Amino acid sequence: MNPSPRPTLSSFWRDLPREGRLLLSVVVFEFVGTGLVLPFWVVYLHEVRGFSLAVTGVLLGLQPLAGLLVVGPGGTLIDRVGGRVVLIGSLICVIAGELVMSVASSVGVAALGMALGGIAFGASWPASQTMIAHVVPTEIRQRYFGVNFSLLNLGIGIGGLVGGAFLDVHRLWTFQTIYLADAASFLPGLFLLLVPLRHVAGRAERDDLATHGAGSYREVLRLPALPTMLALTFLTSFVGYAQLNTGMPAFARALGQVSTGGLGIAFAANTFVIVLLQLVVLQRIEGRRRTRVIAVMTAIWAVAWLCMGAAGLVPGTWGATLLIAACASVFALGETLLQPTVPAMTNDLTTDRLRGRTNALGSAAFQLPAVVAPPISGWLIGHQLGAAYIVLLLVGCAACAALALFRLEPQLGARANGVHTDASTDAMAERGAMVLTGPAVSTPE
Q: What is the 3-state secondary structure (H, E, C) of the chain?
A: CCCCCCCCHHHHHHHCCHHHHHHHHCHHHHHHHHHHHHHHHHHHHHHHCCCCHHHHHHHHHHHHHHHHHHHHHHHHHHHHHCHHHHHHHHHHHHHHHHHHHHCCCCHHHHHHHHHHHHHHHHHHHHHHHHHHHHHCCHHHHHHHHHHHHHHHHHHHHHHHHHHHHHCCCCCHHHHHHHHHHHHHHCHHHHHHHHCCCCCCCCCCCHHHHHHHCCCCHHHHHCCCCHHHHHHHHHHHHHHCHHHHHHHHHHHHHHCCCCCHHHHHHHHHHHHHHHHHHHHHHHHHHCCCCHHHHHHHHHHHHHHHHHHHHHHCCCCCCHHHHHHHHHHHHHHHHHHHHHHHHHHHHHHHCCCHHHHHHHHHHHHHHHHHHHHHHHHHHHHHHHCCCHHHHHHHHHHHHHHHHHHHHHHHHHHCCCCCCCCCCCHHHHHHHHHHHHHHHCCCCCCCC
- Cα 158 to Cα 165, 209, 329: the distances in Å are 11, 43, 17
Asked if 323 contacts 311 with a C-beta cutoff of 8 angstroms, the reply is yes
Per-domain residue ranges for the chain? Answer: 7-201, 222-440
CA distance 32 to 37: 9
Domain 222-440 in CATH: superfamily? Answer: MFS general substrate transporter like domains (1.20.1250.20)
What is the pLDDT, as a whole number, of residue 441?
34
Cα torsion angle, 240, 242, 246, 250, sign:
negative
Rounded CA-CA distance 61/54 in Å is 11
CB 381 within 8 A of CB 243: no
User: What is the per-residue pLDDT for 42?
Assistant: 77
Answer whether 295's CB lies under 8 Å from 405's CB: yes
- Largest Cα–Cα distance of the chain, in whole Å? 67
C-alpha span between 289 and 423 (Å, rounded)? 17
Pick the CATH number of 7-201 from 1.10.530.10, 3.50.50.60, 3.40.50.2300, 1.20.1250.20: 1.20.1250.20
* pLDDT for the residue numbered 428: 41
Indicate the residue type of 409: E
Q: Give the length of the chain.
A: 445
* Domains 7-201 and 222-440 are alike in CATH topology: yes
**Contact (CB, 8 A) for 45 and 167:** no
User: Cα Rg for the chain, rounded, in angstroms?
Assistant: 22
Residue 316's region, left for phi above 0, alpha for psi from -120 to 50, else beta, is left
pLDDT in the model for residue 7: 63
Whether the CB-CB separation of 346 and 290 falls below 8 Å is answered with: no
Tens-binned pLDDT, residue by residue, of the chain (445 aa): 444 456 666 778 888 999 999 999 999 999 999 988 987 887 889 889 999 878 887 888 888 889 989 999 999 999 989 999 999 999 999 999 999 999 999 999 999 999 999 999 999 999 999 999 989 998 899 999 999 999 999 998 898 888 888 888 899 999 999 999 999 999 999 999 999 999 887 765 654 544 555 678 999 999 999 999 999 999 999 999 989 888 888 899 889 998 877 887 888 899 999 999 998 999 899 989 999 999 999 999 999 999 999 999 999 999 999 999 999 999 999 999 999 999 999 999 998 889 999 999 999 999 888 888 888 888 898 889 999 999 999 999 999 999 999 999 999 989 899 887 544 444 444 444 333 334 333 333 2
